[in-house]
Amino acid sequence: MTQARKTDRPARSDALQNRERILKVALVELARSADVPLSAIAKQAGVGQGTLYRHFPTREALVMEVYRYEMGQVVHFAELLLAKYPPDQALERWMHRLAEYAMTKAGLADAIRTVSSVREWPGNGGYAPVIAAAQLLLDANERAGTLRAGITTDDFFLATAGIWQIDFSTDWEPRLAWLINFVMQGLRAGAPVNSVSS
């Protein structure tokens, strides 16, 4: 019994490591091209195609898992920022991160669109982690009084819609910084903290 447990652990550990390697490679390769063959991903990850298909039986399964992983990182980043910065600064930095994510994951977005055309995509369900992260940051700001009261996630994403119109193939950093600063000024206007200090 003890011997079985000892041999099980490395097997499980190897399987997890294989899965992580596949996801890391898929993240890079799908960002480059939505049409990358799964065999190329398996080769780059140093696993056989059989191993890849055991973890991800279809292209859709792999793309969605990569997407979920990335969305999880976006949420985790919001939590880290809140632990380190005041809520309004955390929100501002998170907006920068979200824009950088959109810029660097264009190929992944293409892959997701391709998958979505094959099978129904449940509306905004895939964006739920991003919406949850924004809600977390807005709630923290409301408690701190650093933004005007009553801002919803719908309001927030509507206010930041211009960010997604930026042409990221040009010199986008100054334009992004200006736009985020402009949005933050609007969100901070009329905040209880600002009202007290003025």
- What is the C-alpha to C-alpha distance for residues 108 and 106, in angstroms, rounded to an integer? 5
Task: Please tell me the class of the 59-197 domain.
Answer: mainly alpha
Tens place of pLDDT for every residue, the chain, 198 residues?
444 444 445 557 888 899 999 998 998 898 788 789 999 999 999 999 999 999 999 988 898 888 787 777 778 899 999 999 999 999 999 998 888 776 666 665 565 556 555 544 334 455 677 888 999 999 999 999 999 999 999 899 888 888 777 777 778 888 889 999 999 999 999 898 765 544
User: How distant, in Å, are the alpha carbons of 43, 162, 174, 195 from that of 171?
Assistant: 35, 16, 7, 36
Hey, where are the domains in the chain? 1-57, 59-197
- Compute CA distances 65 → 47, 123, 132, whole Å: 18, 17, 18
Q: Please tell me if the domain spanning 1-57 has the same topology as the one spanning 59-197.
A: no
Domain 1-57 has CATH 1.10.150: no
pTM: 0.67
- Read off the DSSP letter of residue 170: S
What gap in Å lies between CA 26 and CA 20, rounded to an integer?
10
d(CA 6, CA 36): 38
